[in-house]
Amino acid sequence: MRYDSVIIGGGLSGLVCGLRLVQAGKRCAIISSGQSALHFSSGSFDLLSALPDGEAVTSPVEGVKVLAEQNEEHPYVKMGVERFAALAAEAVATLQGAGVEVEGDVAKNHYRLTPMGTLKPTWLTLSGYVRSESAEALPYKSVLLLNAEGFLDFYAQFISDELRKTGTTCRICNFNLPALEIIRNNPTEMRSANIARIFDNEQAVEALSQIISREAGECEAVLLPAFLGIERGDVLARLQERCGRTIRVVATLPPSVPGVRTQIALRKAFERAGGVYMLGDTALGFEESEGRITKIYTQNHGNIAIEADDFVLATGSYFSQGLVAKREGVVEPLFGSDVCQSESRGEWYERDLFTAQPFEKFGVRSDASLRILRGGKAVENLYVIGAGLAGFNPVKEGCGAGVSMLSAVYVSDNILKK
């Protein structure tokens, strides 16, 4: 089997990279073990919310210039501060092209509503999610907060108490539906993805719209947990149409229904454009020759090698097992890439979970083109993108999704330039 490019890892980064390559006419395959960080997405994509020293960033395009002074190993800095805005624009275009509707501005962060009820800066937010241009308050004076009775992964009181502080009055209402009773009978079933399936059914949408019309009263907007439909993407639109009201969704605890939908949308766009998505497969080994990777082997394909001109590693960090922490040190398990890390295990951690953890900055070493270093030397045709990159803290700097998408665009450009 021969492709122009093979991407290992089918999360946000791998999909964006793959989409751009197939759209440019490359024969491209993605090998995906199935899950990715999109499955617990907040519904937003962060670009840059804070600097390594903790200072908040309101404008990512401006912030990245200061970032360059604080951390020259940061992937944004390696890719070139001057290319930052263009890469971001390309990333947005790729999402939109795949039918993933997002809103946001690279020059100015907006704010998303967290499940804790606080407002957090971000770059892009999926349409349908509640968002605000202001860090201080929502654009609504009064909201109705609806939750499915017994859904524990969304706690409305957390949100309503915070909103009240910012001047938005909030009424909480729990609703029940016959279909919910059925899933509730199994004690583990009341989770977002299962509830979402209920709303793939027209009857449930109709029933919910009646509840909204009955309960919403004078409220300016109705907020719901993000569990409206797995297969169908138009549930929110139909609800709004029926009720004639502003209805928005708020992130829940995982799984993230809109995150799963985003992953599916990107995958379908990739496949429509001619890409091959090998779902449920895992890369296990490779062959190399004269400083190049020539082929890889996967679990499902056994001794049938997959050959390509270029390979892209998009396997994520620890959670997705793109990085594996062993007792003796952190390794990149597929290619044995050089990994940037602290000397001893005692230095991996900070005692407060909520401070920047050193292990989050560990990752695969790369050159300026994001080609992977092995034994200190760049491999001619092997790139790294996404969470596996070294030198950044996705959570504290609010840049995880941004690094994933921008590095994907950057590397696809580098491959296409060849």
Partner 1 sequence: MTKEYDVIIIGGGATGAGVARDCALRGIKPLLVERFDIATGATGRNHGLLHSGARYAVNDHESAEECIRENMILRRIASHCVDETGGLFISLPEDGLEFQKKFIESCLSAGIYAEAIDPKEALLLEPSANPALIGAVKVPDGSVDPFRLTTANIIDAKLHGAEVLTYHEVEELIMEQGRVVGVKVLDRKSGERKEIRSRIVVNAGGIWGHNIAKKAGVTINMLPAKGSLLIFGHRVNNVVLNRCRKPADADILVPGDTISLIGTTSSKVLFDEVDNMYVTADEVDLLLREGAMLAPSLLHTRILRAYAGVRPLVASDDDPSGRSVSRGIVVLDHATRDGVEGFITITGGKLMTYRLMGEWTTDLICKKLAVDAKCTTAERPLPGSSPQKREQTSRKIHAVPTMQRESSLYRHGDMAERVETSTSAKRSLVCECEEVSVGEVEYAINALEVNNLVDLRRRTRVGMGTCQGELCACRAAGLMAEHGKYCTRRAKQDLASFLNERWKGMAPVAWGDTLRESEFTMWLYDGVCGLTTKKEEEK
The yes or no reply on residue 354 touching partner 1 (CB under 8 A) is: yes
Residue whose CB is less far from partner 1, 1 or 349: 349
> In this chain, which of 78, 131, 361, 396 binds partner 1, going by CB under 8 A?
396
The yes or no reply on residue 171 touching partner 1 (CB under 8 A) is: no
Number of CB atoms found within 10 A of residue 38's CB: 22
Q: What is the CA radius of gyration of the chain?
A: 22
- Outline where DSSP puts E strands in 264-397: 276-279, 283-289, 292-298, 306-313, 324-325, 330-331, 339-340, 363-364, 371-374, 377-384
The yes or no reply on residue 297 touching partner 1 (CB under 8 A) is: no
Identify which of 102, 75, 98 has the alpha carbon closest to the alpha carbon of residue 87: 75
- Outline where DSSP puts E strands in 194-244: 221-225
Burial of 267 (0-12, 13-18, 19+ CB in 10 A): buried
User: Strand pairing partners for 391?
Assistant: none
- Minimal distance in Å, beta carbon 141 to partner 1? 21
- Minimal distance in Å, beta carbon 241 to partner 1? 29
- Contact at 8 Å (CB) between 50 and 56? yes
The yes or no reply on residue 47 touching partner 1 (CB under 8 A) is: no
Tokens describing residue 155? 């706690």
CA 71 – CA 368 distance, rounded (Å): 15
The yes or no reply on residue 34 touching partner 1 (CB under 8 A) is: no
The yes or no reply on residue 418 touching partner 1 (CB under 8 A) is: no
Pick the stretch among 98-106, 154-162, 230-238, 268-276 that binds partner 1 (CB under 8 A). 154-162
Chain-centre distance of CA 383, in angstroms? 20
The yes or no reply on residue 318 touching partner 1 (CB under 8 A) is: yes
CA 332 – CA 315 distance, rounded (Å): 9
The yes or no reply on residue 333 touching partner 1 (CB under 8 A) is: no
Contacts of 161 (CB under 8 A, 6+ apart): 117
Residue whose CB is less far from partner 1, 93 or 116: 116
Pick the stretch among 34-42, 136-144, 194-202, 204-212 that binds partner 1 (CB under 8 A). 34-42
Identify which of 187, 144, 136, 146 has the alpha carbon closest to the alpha carbon of residue 166: 136
The yes or no reply on residue 394 touching partner 1 (CB under 8 A) is: yes
The yes or no reply on residue 172 touching partner 1 (CB under 8 A) is: no
Residue whose CB is less far from partner 1, 303 or 344: 344
> In this chain, which of 108, 120, 171, 245 binds partner 1, going by CB under 8 A?
120
Q: Which residue has the tokens 């995880």?
A: 400
CA 20 – CA 30 distance, rounded (Å): 12
Pick the stretch among 230-238, 282-290, 352-360, 409-417 that binds partner 1 (CB under 8 A). 352-360
> In this chain, which of 276, 325, 340, 416 binds partner 1, going by CB under 8 A?
325
Of residues 212-251, those binding partner 1 (CB under 8 A): 251
The yes or no reply on residue 42 touching partner 1 (CB under 8 A) is: yes
The yes or no reply on residue 359 touching partner 1 (CB under 8 A) is: yes
The yes or no reply on residue 326 touching partner 1 (CB under 8 A) is: yes
Q: Which residues bind partner 1 (CB under 8 A)?
A: 37, 40-42, 114-118, 120, 149-150, 152-153, 155, 157-158, 161-162, 181, 184-185, 187-188, 190, 251, 253-254, 256, 317-319, 321, 324-327, 344-346, 348-349, 351-354, 357, 359-360, 394-396, 400
